[in-house]
Structure 1
Amino acid sequence: MILEVADIRIRPGQQAAFDEAIERGLRTVAAHAEGMRGWKVNKGIESPERYILQIFWDTLEAHTVGFRQSPLFAQWRSIVGPFFAQPPVVEHFTLLAKSS
């Protein structure tokens, strides 16, 4: 399994609207992507315009090809993209260790 981590910064004062938009976008669009296994969104305390989105994928290609090159990605970006202060920083990770 691959973990996608997106560090998202939104425009100030847009938190409530973005909270609704990101959850709606994940549930109604991204969740339908082939190979997507789940997601988490954390919101900054010290930096309230910062969000960390974690999405779990079967493979790297499920995200980078299957989702990013599908019509679902355009739908997703149309929901969350208008809030971005800058493009999100996205990286992928493999699991090294975890607690029981």
Structure 2
Amino acid sequence: MIVEVADFRVDPKNHEAFGQALTHGVQSVLSKAQGYQAHSILAGIESPGRYLLTVHWNTLEDHTQGFRESPAFAEWRAIIGPFFAQPPQVEHFTLLP
């Protein structure tokens, strides 16, 4: 299993609307992807307009190839992309025992 961590920055005035769009996108698109296991959404307190999304995937390829190269990725970006103040920073991690 790997963990994707996506750091999203949006205009603070869109903080609440983006949170709703992100939740909707995860529930309607991302959670249906092959290899998806679980997620968490963290909304910034000191930094309104900042969100962290963690997604647990079975494999790195489930995210980088299976999801990102699928039509579902375009649907996902259509839901959340209009809010971006800058491109998201995305990295992958392994869990230590």
The normalised TM-score by structure 2 is 0.97
Q: CA deviation at 1:12?
A: 2.4
Q: After the TM superposition, which residues 69-88 of structure 1 pair with which residues of structure 2 at under 5 Å, given as runs? A: 69-88=69-88
Structure 2 match to 1:42: 42
Amino acid at match of 1:63: H
Match of 1:94 in 2: 94
Once superposed, which parts of structure 1, at least 4 consecutive aligned residues long, lie more than 3 Å away? none
| Aligned match of 1:4 | 4
Q: Which amino acid aligns with 2:85?
A: A
Tell me how far 1:15 sits from its aligned partner: 1.1
Aligned residues: 97
Q: Share of identical aligned residues, percent?
A: 56
Are 1:32 and 2:32 matched, yes or no? Answer: yes
What is the match of residue 56 of structure 1? 56
Bigger share in helix = 2
Give the Cα separation in 2 of the matches to 1:18 and 1:36: 22
Compute the RMSD of aligned alpha carbons.
Answer: 0.7
TM-aligned CA deviation for residue 61 of structure 1: 0.2
Name the SS for the 2:55 alignment partner. Answer: strand
CA distance in 2, matches of 1:17, 1:45: 15
Q: Structure 2: any 5+ residue segments left out of the alignment?
A: none
Distance apart, 1:19 and its partner CA: 1.2
